[in-house]
Structure 1
Amino acid sequence: MSKTVMSVGHIDKQMSDLEEKRRNLCDHFAFVSGSDSAVAQCYLSENDWDVERALNSFFEAHMDSEFDVEEAEETKNESGTKRKELDSPATADTSGTKKLKSDKMNCIDLTADEPSCSRNVNSKESQAESNSRSQSDDGDSKLSFISWNVDGLDTINLAERARGLCSYLALYTPDVVFLQELIPAYIQYLKKRAVSYLFVEGSDDGYFTGIMLKKSRVKLLESDIISYPTTQMMRNLIVAKVTFLGRKLYLMTSHLESCKNQSEERMKQLRVVLQKIIQSPDDVTVLFGGDTNLRDSEVVKVGGLPQGVCDVWEQLGKQEHCRYTWDTKANSNKSLPYVSRCRFDRIYLRSAKTGPKFIPDHMVLVGMEKLDCSRYTSDHWGIYCTLNT
């Protein structure tokens, strides 16, 4: 009789553990996808409670449709305004010069022409950066880059916010772009417009990070994806080995584990990043940009930054206007019942120990102008930065 009771008790414990595990999976799915527990349970149960498969299924169902509508609208607009040009292989302008029809009418070189997207970018900001942009375009040795969590998991106004990102890329024409929270549809959208960039992606499923390299200035040698063994949120580290105007660079980006209760995992991931930085060859400059989700106390707990590695924001004097990259006081994309102001997005630099040094020159936050949809490009501000040699 006692054996029967123990057996029933054991079964009850197993069922309780299973329910708890599935509740946690639902919570994780809801957090990542921005949905609720009912949606989470539906997708998870349909995918045998495999969270990665369930998230992929969710993104395919919800995200592609956003960009399909966008593409349909653009096609309709182009067919009305460019029908004559498309009907013939060549047309003549008033000077008699022939204009050849492009085979890639939907592709836009962001370093040459600005895309047809909603450009609510402040003119003062444009003037303030015009000098650094023109210097970069002229081919000098200054390295420019943007790091931005673009919040591709937020389905609201997704296509218009992606156009907003294109506007900023056209405005700043950075040599390198570090992106976090990409989804497959979002990256495909960018590839159609940013034809002057080469893309290095951390994955092609779910949500992931990526690096964009301006082809005319940055040459990719090889890339690597380093997994975080204990991540619960599909996080990893991308390392792109490149040359920039003949100088060796390792470019790194990551999206470290989110949420306050994931501090231990986040610090494990930070240790991996810092280890990769300090193990890089002496003749290589290492540049990391990403959404670290870090609190300053966590950096202290891992022993601080290694010798020779600097936090670029700190190196530039801890300018207050660049401090908060996640700021619910100023950014209204997320409807939260509290105010949170954090420096989640960070830039780390380790200059080569031999040869010319890269020195932090300038930093500014971008994406602080509302789009036509009355929302910002992302719930994070982006970081635009330049390095001198």
Structure 2
Amino acid sequence: MSNTVMSGNHTDQQMSALEETRTILCDQFASISGSDSAVAQCYLAENEWDMERALNSFFEAHMDSVFDVEEAEETKAVSGNKRKEVNSSDPADASGTKKKFKTDQVDCIDLTAEEPTCSSSVNPQESQAESAVTESNAEDSKLSVISWNVDGLDTLSLAERARGLCSYLALYTPDVVFLQELIPSYIQYLKKRAVSYLFVEGSDDGYFTGIMLKKSRVKLLESEIICYPTTQMLRNLLVAQVTFSGRKLYLMTSHLESCKNQSEERMKQLRVVFQRMRGAPEDATVIFAGDTNLRDTEVVKVGGLPPGVCDVWEQLGKQEHCRYTWDTKANSNKTVPYICRCRFDRIFLRSAETGPRVTPDHMVLVGMEKLDCGRYTSDHWGIYYNNRRQIWI
């Protein structure tokens, strides 16, 4: 009798533990995919409670068709020779009161230009041509960067939002683009339009990070994916070794573990990032940019920034207008019953210890205009950043 009770209790304990484990898996799945617990339970059960398989199955079922309508509409527009003209005399443009960022013109997005933005300011007919060339060369030595969590897991208006991203890339023509929360269909969409960029991807399924390199300005030497051993959200560190203006750069991006209760794992991942930044060659400049999900106290707990590494936002004076990159007060893409303003997206810089020194010059938030669909490009604001002219010391 006693043995039977003990056996029964043991079984109850096992079932309770199993139920708790599966509840945690459902919560993690829902957090990653943006779905609810019922959807999570369905996909996990169908895939024998294997998180990676379940997520891949979800993405394949829900994401691959997102851009089908977009592609069909563009094909129809091209075959029908329908081109929307931009009216320069639009009173909304003239008054400066237009609040929506226009993205509905298929032909307005041109990412094929190989020349950097700064070259357009050089007028070959100017009398002081030599001075203009000198100024242009100085501008050309500046590296420009955009870092953005594009929220590819949110399928609502995704095609319009991806087109919005392309518009910002065409506007800023950054040398390097760090992207987080990409999905396969999203990056395929970008590849068709951003043909002047080389793509380095952190994975080829599920959701992942990526780095875009402007072919005419940045040369890829090699890339590497560093796994986080204890991640529960398929996160990793993507590293690209490149040259820019003949100088070595190590470019890094990551999407550190999400949610408040994943603080310990997030700090483990941050230590890996800092270790890799410190371990880069002395003659290389290192730039990390990504969605860190960090709280300032977590940076303190890991010992602060390593020697020689700066937080770009802090280095530029902690400007209030570009503090919060995830701001539910200003960004309405996510419907949440609370206001949360966080500096999740960050850029860390370690200048080369030998040769030319690099210091931050300018940083602004981008994506703060609503698109024609009534939503923003992402639930995160993007960061645009460039450095000062490299100085030899």
Q: TM-score when scaled to structure 2?
A: 0.86
Corresponding residue of 2:129: none
How many positions carry a matched residue from both structures?
A: 352
The whole-number CA distance in structure 2 between the counterparts of 1:306 and 1:187 is: 33
Structure 1 position 280 matched with structure 2 position 254: no
Amino acid at match of 1:347: I
Distance in 2 of aligned mates of 1:282 and 1:35: 45
Cα displacement (A) at 1:31: 1.0
Structure 1 residue 326 displacement after superposition: 0.5
- 1:152 aligned partner, one-letter code: G
SS at 1:252 equivalent = strand
How much does 1:132 deviate? 9.2
The letter for the 1-side match of 2:348 is Y
CA distance in structure 1 between the partners assigned to 2:249 and 2:120 by the alignment:
21
Match of 2:98 in 1: none
Q: Secondary structure at the match of 1:335?
A: coil
C-alpha contact (below 8 Å) 1:277/1:350 kept by paired residues? yes
Counterpart of 1:123 in structure 2 is none
Query: In structure 2, the residue corresponding to 1:313 is in which secondary structure?
Result: helix
- In 1, Cα distance between equivalents of 2:252 and 2:198: 15
SS at match of 1:257: coil
State the shift of 1:112 in Å.
2.3
Answer yes or no: is the 8 Å Cα contact 1:109–1:196 preserved in 2: no
In structure 2, C-alpha distance between the alignment counterparts of 1:351 and 1:111, rounded to whole Å: 30
Which residue of structure 2 aligns with residue 365 of structure 1? 365
Alignment of 1:1-389 (within 5 A): 1-81=1-81, 110-112=111-113, 140-388=140-388, 389=390
CA distance in 1, matches of 2:31, 2:353: 42
Q: Hey, what's the Cα distance between the residues in 1 that align with 2:267 and 2:119? A: 35
Distance in 1 (CA, whole Å) between partners of 2:41 and 2:212 is 35
Indicate conservation of the 8 Å contact 2:332/2:379, yes or no: yes
Instruction: Report % sequence identity.
Output: 81
CA contact (8 A) 2:118 2:140 kept: no
Q: Which amino acid aligns with 1:148?
A: W
What is the Cα deviation at residue 22 of structure 1?
0.9
| Conserved 8 A contact 2:118-2:136 | no
CA distance in 2, matches of 1:17, 1:320: 46
Alignment partners' CA distance in 1, 2:119 and 2:301 = 37
Structure 1 residue 141, shift from structure 2 partner? 0.4
- The residue type equivalent to 2:201 in the other structure is E
Paired with 1:175 and 1:76, the residues of 2 have a C-alpha distance of 33
- Please report how far the alpha carbon of residue 36 of structure 1 lies from its aligned counterpart in structure 2 after TM superposition: 1.0
Change beyond 3 A, Cα 1:230–1:166 = same
Q: Helix, strand or coil for the counterpart of 1:148?
A: strand
Q: Secondary structure at the match of 1:25?
A: helix
Aligned partner letter, 1:110: L
Give the 3 Å change call, closer, same or farther, for CA 39–46 of structure 1 in structure 2.
same
Mapped partners of 2:4, 2:32: distance in 1: 42
Preserved contact between residue 218 and residue 242 of structure 2 (Cα < 8 Å): yes
| Contact 1:109–1:195 (8 Å) recurs in 2 | no
Aligned Cα root-mean-square deviation (Å):
2.1
**What is the CA-CA distance between 1:361 and the residue it aligns to?**
0.7
SS of the residue 1:66 aligns to = coil
**Distance in 2 between the 1:237 and 1:223 partners?**
11
Moved over 4 A (4+): 130-139
Structure 2: tracts of 5 or more residues without a match: 84-105, 123-134
Deviation by residue 1:32-64 (Cα, 9 ceiling, x = unmatched): 111111111111111111111111111111111
Q: Measure, in 2, the Cα distance between the counterparts of 1:326 and 1:38.
A: 27
Unaligned runs of 5+ in 1: 84-104, 114-129
Aligned mates of 1:78, 1:160 — CA distance in 2: 18
Gap change, CA 1:8 and 1:160, over 3 Å in 2: same
Letter of the aligned partner of 2:111 in structure 1?
L
TM-score (norm 1): 0.87
Is the CA contact (8 Å cut-off) linking 1:133 and 1:173 kept in structure 2? no
Give secondary structure in 1 for the equivalent of 2:221: strand
